[in-house]
Amino acid sequence: MRHSLRIIALIVLAALGGGAYWYFVKQGGTVAELTALLKSHGVPIPGGDAAGAKPAGPPPGGMPPMPVEAVPVKIGVVARSVTAVGSLLSSESVVIRPEIAGRIAEITFQEGQRVTKGAILVRLDDSIARATLAQAQASIAFSRAELSRADQLVRQNTGPVRTREQAAAKLLADEATVQLAKAQLDKQVLTAPFDGVLGLRKVSVGDFVQSGKDIVNLEAIDTLKLDFRVPEMFLTAVKIGQTVKVAVDAFAGRGFDGEVYAIDPLIDVNGRAVVIRARVANPDGALRPGLFARVALTLTVVPDAVLIPEQAIVAFGKDQFVFKVVDGKVAQTKVALGERRNAEVEITQGLKAGDVVVTAGQLKIRDGSPVAVVNAKPSGS
């Protein structure tokens, strides 16, 4: 039964094909005439009247708009910076040492103590110095009396002038001896030359120390120095007054601010680097001299930079382009790139505030193509 149906279907198809060949080739008929003929015989025509149908294709005026994603450019602040590593140093640092030899009689400080300028730190045994001063003061009293008697004799014309001159010279010598004795006595006391924090002492009471012996170190740490190096290519960009951001491993997640105040005029020949020194405020004393620091030096700040997503950039050879949406069409625009940050890139030339750029679908369009913006999102979202 099925075999018979198949044979009948094949015969019908062959008949229809032959009839169509005869109608269009031999008789010169048209599709419209064939449709009318079929309708007159009651044959339904799918899709309605084919006589007025137009071939499928693009609408009048060219290709339809291509759907793309686009965002407006964003205006923001961009800071150009260079990173480096450096070391923190005390603003002022000194090791307290005696200028003369002597035995330590008293230590008046505690290790790690904060002291002010002029505070007494160590006293040496001053018994010999005091005796020397007393002897010089006694001698000067006798010299003054001798000078007074010689001067009186000269005024009375009963004594030679030479005697008065010798007495005056002796008085000057004794005065110098007194000053020397006082200076030696002052050297028995060691004081703080500036405000700071004391380190660990290296002597004890009763020690006999020679001149130049290390007693204790004194560090001024309310403000620290920061020394770091940058490559010589940044020489023209580095200026006094630029800001630095400092991070140290001891305080993860915390940043410290500083300012460049000195640039070494001598380039380091070993690394071809510029040596820079900055000040870093340390009011709470958290930072300490000797810490390893990571430094970000801000070279320039652009307050109104034009920013777009990185995916909007299209490279052609060595040039960079974006597709800018203008009145429903795209304009291929050459741009100059600046700094990159957080998946955004700065445009230094080619775009301005208010422009809209394509971020997805660039492969389907070319310069002048009509587009329809879909799923547009704010830049950076």
Task: Pull the structure tokens for residue 256.
Answer: 């410290």
Task: Pull the structure tokens for residue 89.
Answer: 């140093």
- Regarding whether 287 and 336 lie in a shared domain, the answer is no
Q: What percent of the chain has a predicted confidence (pLDDT) above 90?
A: 35
φ, ψ for residue 16 (rounded to 5)?
-65, -40
Q: What digits encode the pLDDT tens for the residues 342-360? A: 888 888 888 888 889 998 8
Give domain status of residue 144, yes or no.
Answer: yes
- Regarding whether 229 and 287 lie in a shared domain, the answer is yes
Give domain status of residue 232, yes or no.
Answer: yes
- Quickly state the pLDDT bin for 248 (edges 50, 70, 90): very high
Binning the chain into helix, strand and coil, the percentages to the nearest 5 are 25, 40, 35
Rounded Cα distance between 133 and 139, Å, is 10
- Regarding whether 198 and 154 lie in a shared domain, the answer is yes
The mean predicted confidence, pLDDT, of the chain is: 82
- Quickly state the pLDDT bin for 339 (edges 50, 70, 90): confident
- Regarding whether 13 and 104 lie in a shared domain, the answer is no
- Quickly state the pLDDT bin for 44 (edges 50, 70, 90): low
- Quickly state the pLDDT bin for 305 (edges 50, 70, 90): confident
Select from 302, 332, 365 the last residue of a domain: 302
Q: Give the lowest-confidence range in 6-10, 63-67, 189-193.
A: 6-10
Give domain status of residue 46, yes or no.
Answer: no
Residue 7 CB burial class (10 angstroms; 0-12, 13-18, ≥19)? exposed
- Regarding whether 240 and 317 lie in a shared domain, the answer is no
The secondary element (H helix, E strand) that includes residue 14 is helix 2-21
Rounded Cα distance between 108 and 192, Å, is 11
Instruction: Indicate the pTM of the whole model.
Output: 0.61
Give domain status of residue 48, yes or no.
Answer: no
Q: What digits encode the pLDDT tens for the residues 268-304? A: 888 889 999 999 999 888 999 999 999 999 888 888 8
Mean pLDDT along residues 58-62: 51
Give domain status of residue 129, yes or no.
Answer: yes
What pLDDT, on the 0 to 100 scale, is given for residue 244?
94
Give domain status of residue 186, yes or no.
Answer: yes
Strand partners, 103: 208
- Regarding whether 319 and 286 lie in a shared domain, the answer is no
Check pLDDT > 50 for residue 48.
no
- Quickly state the pLDDT bin for 262 (edges 50, 70, 90): very high
Q: Which residue has the tokens 């405020």?
A: 281
Strand partners, 247: 294
- What is the domain count for the chain? 4
Give domain status of residue 59, yes or no.
Answer: no
- Regarding whether 203 and 115 lie in a shared domain, the answer is yes
Is the separation of the CB atoms in 189 and 124 below 8 Å? Answer: yes
Q: Which residue has the higher pLDDT, 187 or 13?
A: 187
CATH number at residue 287: 2.40.30.170
What pLDDT, on the 0 to 100 scale, is given for residue 25?
47
- Regarding whether 267 and 173 lie in a shared domain, the answer is no
Give domain status of residue 33, yes or no.
Answer: yes
Rounded Cα distance between 27 and 245, Å, is 92
Check pLDDT > 70 for residue 74.
yes
Task: Pull the structure tokens for residue 111.
Answer: 């290790």
CATH number at residue 143: 1.10.287.470
Select from 302, 319, 343 the last residue of a domain: 302
CATH number at residue 321: 2.40.420.20
- Quickly state the pLDDT bin for 4 (edges 50, 70, 90): low
- Regarding whether 104 and 164 lie in a shared domain, the answer is yes
Select from 155, 180, 209 the last residue of a domain: 209
**Domain range holding 204?**
98-209
265: left (phi over 0), alpha (psi -120 to 50) or beta: alpha
Check pLDDT > 70 for residue 20.
no
